[in-house]
Chains A and B, each alone.
Chain A
Amino acid sequence: GQQLNQSPQSMFIQEGEDVSMNCTSSSIFNTWLWYKQDPGEGPVLLIALYKAGELTSNGRLTAQFGITRKDSFLNISASIPSDVGIYFCAGQASMNYGGSQGNLIFGKGTKLSVKP
């Protein structure tokens, strides 16, 4: 089945540093979403991408939909302690792939730890 490879698995950085993480797939996606999950809570949507090459920002967060439609990137600038959490990418398969329209495929997450 479809799988997303998310990297790195974990990051431990200093406050103020920039962060980069990415997600790759063996198949084409027509939607890429980035979520953040705090302990004991459900994922919260950060950024949604719907077109190849699209670059979207949300405050200090910037995400890009790869041109090949098989990858996506998330950058966090000037990290702060509240950025701590697990970041998930999620992809929605191409309509022609045959998957359910509602079936988002999630990566395994990138755990971000920030040292003050």
Chain B
Amino acid sequence: EAGVAQSPRYKIIEKRQSVAFWCNPISGHATLYWYQQILGQGPKLLIQFQNNGVVDDSQLPKDRFSAERLKGVDSTLKIQPAKLEDSAVYLCASSQGQGAFTEKLFFGSGTQLSVL
């Protein structure tokens, strides 16, 4: 079974530029998550989708970050404009069901973003 696919693996941009990340979850998984992991920290949830609807985006900096999950499958996360503090690994995860507390999350390998 294929895992969660993410691209690109690495991205280097200058501050104030825009960047987009792509995620393809495990086939059949209804719930998709984007996490931000700053060096030396654990992952922090940015946004959670159930099918193509947003369940939780309370920690998403909406002035610069946006995400969409059209057709309830693939998802893109965009940052515009990027700041130095956005340098982190952006992890996508998916889970099978409705995002309940018993769900097991499966993570992709992440996109490492460096903002110069």
Q: Confirm or deny: A40 has a beta carbon within 8 angstroms of a beta carbon on chain B.
A: yes
Partner of B101, one of A42, A43, A44, A101: A101
User: Are A109 and B42 touching (Cβ within 8 A)?
Assistant: yes
Interface contacts (Cβ under 8 Å), in number, total: 67
User: Are A102 and B31 touching (Cβ within 8 A)?
Assistant: yes
List, in ascending order, chain A residues with CB within 8 A of B43's CB.
43, 88, 106
CA distance A40 to B93 in the complex (A): 15
Say how far A75's CB is from chain B's closest CB, in angstroms: 20
- Residue-wise, chain A 18-46 has the 8 Å CB interface mask toward B (1 for contact) of 00000000000011010000001111110
List, in ascending order, chain A residues with CB within 8 A of B44's CB.
106
User: Are B42 and A102 touching (Cβ within 8 A)?
Assistant: no
Residue count of chain B within 8 Å CB distance of chain A:
29
Q: Confirm or deny: A107 has a beta carbon within 8 angstroms of a beta carbon on chain B.
A: yes
Q: Confirm or deny: B48 has a beta carbon within 8 angstroms of a beta carbon on chain A.
A: yes
Say how far A28's CB is from chain B's closest CB, in angstroms: 12
- Residue-wise, chain B 83-116 has the 8 Å CB interface mask toward A (1 for contact) of 0000000010101000111111111111010000
Interfacial residues, chain A to chain B (CB-CB below 8 A): 4, 6, 30-31, 33, 40-45, 48, 50, 88, 90, 92, 95, 100-104, 106-109
Extra inter-chain contacts (11) besides given A104-B45, A108-B40, CB under 8 Å: A31-B102, A40-B109, A45-B104, A50-B101, A95-B101, A100-B55, A101-B100, A101-B101, A102-B31, A106-B43, A107-B42
Interfacial residues, chain B to chain A (CB-CB below 8 A): 4, 31, 33, 40-45, 48, 55-56, 58, 91, 93, 95, 99-110, 112
